[in-house]
Chain A
Amino acid sequence: MSAERARVVRDGLAVGLATAAYGISFGALAVAAGLDVWQACVLSLVMFTGGSQFALVGVIAAGGAAAGPAAIASSVMLGLRNVVYGMRMSPIVRPTGWKRIVAPWWTIDESVAVALAQRAPALQRVGFWVTGAAIYVGWNLTTLIGALIGDALGDTSAWGLDAAAAAAFLGLLWPRLKSVQAGAVAAGAAVVAALATPVLAPGLPVLVAAVVAVVVGWWNLFGRRAEQAAGA
């Protein structure tokens, strides 16, 4: 059991290190979008969920503070999956005392993934806590470093940071494109967002594209029976 435990700790730390490295790109892109260093740090400290943080920064980059409501809505919608994670982790982690605050806060893609990859509940808890702690510490440090780098760069488009932002979103999307349904939603949403860009205020095209997910998800278009069974 203790060898198993050491393996889970190593896995958690490895995932934590790899994820924390993204923080550099997040910090730099946040500053490139017009946020200051402290705003970038508050996002990583309080929001602490990468997809939502990148989304907020992406919408602000397109529309500035005027796109604020759309930026908030985008990050909240991307954070909805954390509700599902919480429901899955709650009976496993069963947090008490101060852990009742920290456990939900650290419930993100990676901590849940490492936890659920283990069989024994005790190891699931180890995976969750090690990964969550490693990412929380690492992500906030690297956000600060990235934001300071972004601040020092100045003209961000000459450095290609706008292209880096698109590549960062693609990196978050890539591992999720595992089914025909996922690919269809991604393609449909990208087309809708592009077509809506000239006619809607900045930020709104991203929200309108979310309708694609609701329509496809409601009627399970492009979905296969086998996948439903596997997902349930």
Chain B
Amino acid sequence: MTLWHVVLVASVATAALKFVGYLVPAGFLERERPARIADLLTIALLAALIAVQALGAGQALVVDARIPALIVAAALYAVRVPFVLVVAAAAAVAAGIRAVT
């Protein structure tokens, strides 16, 4: 599987999902349990991606400059700094720590 296959299959599958919502009659996912699971899936996947992105190095877990950067990012989100500025600040913190260590 090349990266192009991954990009195309995932793009078509994800775009197709958007059409499903318009084609099927309202009902199934409006019910409480499926709607709740769909919401929580988004949260679980994003949290898992944060953990892997902040701690993973291949199959090892490594604590490095990413952790202080993530803490700074959380503090900035807490005081409602816009997304783009927070992402740039996180990159700057990690790059700064790496430059001096």
Contact = CB atoms under 8 A, between A and B. Distances in A.
Do A and B actually bind?
yes
A158 B20 contact: no
Interface string A97-109: 0001001110100
B86 to A, nearest CB: 6
B22 A58 contact: no
B3 A104 contact: no
A72 interface: yes
Contact of B32 (A79, A202, A228): A228
B44 A189 contact: yes
A35 B6 CA distance: 10
For chain A, which range describes its interface: under 10, 10 to 19, 20 to 34, or 35 or more residues?
35 or more
B16 to A, nearest CB: 9
For chain B, which range describes its interface: under 10, 10 to 19, 20 to 34, or 35 or more residues?
35 or more
B42 to A, nearest CB: 5
A65 B40 CA distance: 27
Contacts of B58: 62, 202
A47 B50 CA distance: 21
A105 B20 CA distance: 11
Interface string B49-86: 11111111011110001100110011001000011101
B17 interface: yes
Contacts of B39: 81, 176, 217
Contact of B15 (A46, A58, A72, A100): A46
Contact of B21 (A84, A188, A202): A84
A95 B48 CA distance: 36
B41 A214 contact: yes
B6 A71 contact: yes
A120 interface: no
B3 to A, nearest CB: 5
A108 to B, nearest CB: 8
A205 B55 CA distance: 12
A78 B20 contact: no
Smallest CB-CB A-B distances: 10 pairs: A86-B21, A160-B94, A167-B90, A209-B48, A163-B94, A217-B37, A193-B48, A163-B69, A160-B91, A160-B95
Interface of A: 18, 21-22, 24-25, 34-36, 39, 42-43, 46-49, 51-52, 54-56, 58-62, 65-66, 68-69, 71-72, 74-91, 95, 100, 103-105, 107, 157-174, 176-177, 181-182, 185-194, 197-202, 205-206, 209-210, 212-214, 216-218, 220, 223, 228, 231-232
Given A47-B15, A189-B45, 17 more contacts: A39-B3, A48-B15, A65-B3, A89-B22, A91-B26, A158-B99, A160-B69, A160-B96, A176-B39, A176-B43, A190-B48, A194-B52, A197-B51, A197-B60, A209-B47, A223-B36, A228-B32
